[in-house]
Amino acid sequence: MSDVQNQNGELLLRTAQNMIVENDDIADTLVLRRPPARAEVMAEICRQLEPFQADDGRTITGATVISKDLSIDSLAVMDMVMDLEDQFDVSIPMNVVAEIQTVDELADTILALSARR
């Protein structure tokens, strides 16, 4: 088995699972990635939150409180979480999302779920 790179240059780890040949047209390819680095997760969260940045020019940091410091409603937060889920191949239950306050907590949740995968 050898490691392969995807089109973004990320290193994908080939596992036994993605050798399974699915013969129906709805199967999604099973490619398990190595758990992402924290910096990668933070960068992606910040990129997603950028459009909701407050007018006062404060940059988004780990301590940013998502629902208070940004102009984003709870529905938009849940939609962003769906994108992050697919990007990092984890599912974050809705009750867990409800508890998350800061960017740091969101990143930690994603990292913890990836490590458990």
Partner 1 sequence: MGLFDRHAGLLDAYRDVRTTGADPFQIRMERVLSPTEAIINGKKTLLVGTNNYFGLTFDPSCMEAAIEAIRAEGTGTTGSRIANGSYSEHVALEQEIAEFYGKKHCMVFTTGYQANLGIIATLVGPDDFLLIDADSHASIYDACKQTQAEVVRFKHNDPASLEARLRRIGDKPGNKLVVLEGIYSMLGDSAPLKEFVAVCKKHGAYVLVDEAHSMGALGEHGRGLSEAVGVLDDCHFIVGTFSKTLGAIGGYCVSDDPDFDILRVTTRSYMFTASLPPSIVASVRQALREVKARPELRKQLWDNVATLYDGLAAQGFKLGPEHGPVVGVHLPDRMTAIGFWRAMLDAGIYVNVAVPPATPNGVSLLRCSLCAVHTREQLEHMIEVMTGIGRQMGVLTPKLRVVGGNR
Helices and strands (H, E) in the chain, number of each type:
5, 2
Nearer to partner 1, 61 or 91 (CB): 91
Interacting residues toward partner 1 by CB under 8 A: 24, 26-28, 30, 73-76, 78-79, 82, 85-86, 89-95, 117
Q: CB neighbours of 53 closer than 8 A, spacing ≥ 6?
A: 59, 60, 70, 71
Instruction: Compute the least distance from the CB of residue 93 to partner 1, in Å.
Output: 4
Q: CB neighbours of 25 closer than 8 A, spacing ≥ 6?
A: none
Nearer to partner 1, 85 or 105 (CB): 85
Distance (Å, rounded) from C-alpha 70 to C-alpha 33? 31
Instruction: Compute the least distance from the CB of residue 45 to partner 1, in Å.
Output: 18
Nearer to partner 1, 40 or 52 (CB): 52
Tokens 């007018």 belong to 55
Instruction: Compute the least distance from the CB of residue 73 to partner 1, in Å.
Output: 6
Instruction: Compute the least distance from the CB of residue 62 to partner 1, in Å.
Output: 25
